[in-house]
Amino acid sequence: MSVYWPFGIRQGGMRSRLIFALDVGSVPEALQFVDLLTREVGMFKVGKQLFLHAGPQIVQMIRERGGEVFLDLKFHDIPRTVAKAAGEATRMGVRMFDVHASGSLEMMRRTVAEVNKVCRGQGLRRPKVLAVTVLTSLNREDLKRVGVTGGIENQVVRLARLAKEANMDGVVASPHEIAPIRKESGRGFLIVTPGVRLRGGNWEDQKRVMTPEAAIRAGADYLVVGQPIREATDPVATAREIVAAMERGLTPADRRGRPLGAPPPD
């Protein structure tokens, strides 16, 4: 149930935009987090570690407990292979999954087409299909070494444009790239952002970080947070603190709730 905040800001709106990264290597630990946090976050991100450890059943297990899943396997292969993998992710009932935008326009187009075909054919809920632009672990030098000489921001914007052209639903990108992506892609394009830390938290392993307030203010639609919640003595309290910080990132102009994919108000 949503609670209405003063000025009509819908509390619960931001809760649904917080994604907890289930970066653990044991099923009991993963399910313990799911039971603890299902009412506190909007989605659970399942990455390669948990998926390979637990198998595809982990998606079913999370859904049976009332959780939604962002399947973060970052597919990158020939178009047919990625499209077929995307069909399987769709049949699993995930809410979102991602592919690498650098896999090509054709790879993304075929992926979107296969997802639409599977959903239409089987009457399934359509997952959001996201494109990873440039991994946040890469710096300018790393990109140069693989032949990308134009800088990170240019590459991110180029890939976001390609994803939009392929009719992808949005991108995964670092908080510092939200503004240029929003400018380039306009309305209705989702931006999912990792690299988020509460003020005073552990900033050491993520150089390119932002607070939840700042990331929401900049125009992020969903925030992915792992370690700060996972390693908190009270994960529920920390998740609530992050949701409260996200609410603070909304300006009064957002008070009826900001639609997904909307640019932040001026």
Classify residue 26 as exposed, middle or buried by CB count within 10 Å of its CB (0-12, 13-18, 19+).
exposed
Pair 263, 253: CB distance under 8 Å: no
| Selected catalytic residue, list 74, 144, 183, 207 | 74
Closest residue to ligand C5P, judged by C-beta, is 226
Pick out residues in 165-194 that bind ligand C5P (CB under 6 A): 194
**Whole-number minimum distance, CB 84 to ligand C5P, in Å?**
24
**Whole-number minimum distance, CB 246 to ligand C5P, in Å?**
14
Q: Binding ligand C5P by CB under 6 A: which of 14, 18, 21, 46?
A: 21
The b/e string for 88-103 (b: 16+ C-beta within 10 A; e otherwise) is: ebbebbbbbbbbbbbb
- Per-residue binder mask for ligand C5P (CB under 6 A), 35-74, x = binder: ------------x------------------------x--
232 binds ligand C5P, rule: CB under 6 A:
no
- Binding segment for ligand C5P (CB under 6 A), chosen from 110-118, 158-166, 218-226, 238-246, is 218-226
Identify the CA nearest to 224 among candidates 174, 168, 150, 163: 174
State both tokens at 135.
């991994």
Beta-carbon contacts of 229 under 8 Å, excluding residues fewer than 6 positions away, are 20, 37, 235, 238, 239, 242
State both tokens at 7.
């000025």
Nearer to ligand C5P, 71 or 83 (CB): 71
117 is catalytic: no
**Chain-centroid distance, C-alpha 250:** 19
Q: Which residue has the tokens 């959001």?
A: 128
Identify the CA nearest to 138 among candidates 177, 103, 170, 192: 177
Q: Binding ligand C5P by CB under 6 A: which of 157, 225, 242, 245?
A: 225
Nearer to ligand C5P, 83 or 196 (CB): 196
136 binds ligand C5P, rule: CB under 6 A:
yes
**Whole-number minimum distance, CB 113 to ligand C5P, in Å?**
27
Active site residues per annotation: 74
Q: Which residues bind ligand C5P (CB under 6 A)?
A: 21, 23, 47, 72, 136-137, 194-195, 206, 224-227
